[in-house]
A and B are shown apart, each in its own frame.
Chain A
Amino acid sequence: QSVLTQPPSVSGAPGQRVTISCTGSSSNIGDNRDVHWYQQFPGSVPKLLIYANNNRPSGVPDRFSASKSGASASLAITGLQADDEADYYCQSYDSVLSYSVFGGGTKLTVL
């Protein structure tokens, strides 16, 4: 059971917009802790997609964006492409556990 809750799967057609939610609690996201997002293709290394809530590392397309509100965060992908099909993970810091925690991951399927 992950500390941060993500839907196991989401799907969308090419060109559409999809969002992936990440629900935490008052000891992590709700404690104003930053949220970070990673993209992981099968058999590959997690890649930093968004850091500190809504910042994209160099090279990440602006089709990827994220937001945070209260104890939840969400990742949005617009103009969905076939090669966006991957697993997506959120991460934050939990002030009660005193370490970084991840969501269980969401598998994005492009129909």
Chain B
Amino acid sequence: QVQLLESGPGLVKPSETLSLTCTVSGDSISSFSHSWSWVRQPPGKGLEWIGYIYNSGHTYYKSSLKSRVTLSVDTSKNHFSLKLTSVTAADTAVYYCAREPYCGSGCGNWFDTWGQGTLVTVSA
């Protein structure tokens, strides 16, 4: 059974960097069959896709966040990470990591496995 677990600070100061890690069990982060995404949900609002990483290196980000987002992978720990710089209150959200069957470039699939989510609050 595939499981994802997010970890990281729950409070980040404005203008600083949000850093989260998603540890994967039951599947390999180097898999050719899946990509690994981050999705966030501001309190009381809908879901927003942030970006994905595939095959330990290929990344793709939502255009409006691209200048602030970096995804990376540590294959030895089977986890992937999110860094979001220059955060503001608008970045306050529950951050989920999720697995997606890979379909290549120029397409998107469903998210079949989600982590439990972690609330990150941006506040001084």
Q: A residues bordering B, Cβ < 8 Å? A: 2, 33-34, 36, 38, 45-48, 51-52, 57, 89, 91-93, 95, 97-105
Contact = CB atoms under 8 A, between A and B. Distances in A.
Contacts of B48: 102
B117 A45 contact: yes
A45 B97 CA distance: 11
Question: By DSSP majority rule, is chain B's interface helix, strand, loop, or mixed?
Answer: loop
Given A46-B96, A93-B107, A102 B112 contact: no
A102 B96 contact: no
B102 interface: no
Interface string B101-122: 0000011111110111100000
A89 B46 contact: yes
The 3 closest A-B pairs by CB, nearest first: A93-B108, A36-B110, A100-B108
A86 to B, nearest CB: 14
Contacts, number: 59
A104 B49 contact: no
Contacts of B49: 99-102
Chain B: interface residue count, which band? 20 to 34
A99 B114 contact: no
A34 B108 CA distance: 8
Contact of A98 (B37, B96, B106, B110): B106
User: Which of A47, A48, A103 is packed against the most chain B CB atoms within 10 Å?
Assistant: A48
Contacts of B60: 98-99
Given A99-B60, A99-B62, A100-B108, A45 B47 contact: no
Given A95-B106, A103-B46, 13 more contacts: A33-B108, A36-B109, A38-B111, A45-B96, A45-B115, A46-B111, A51-B109, A52-B109, A57-B112, A91-B110, A98-B106, A99-B63, A102-B46
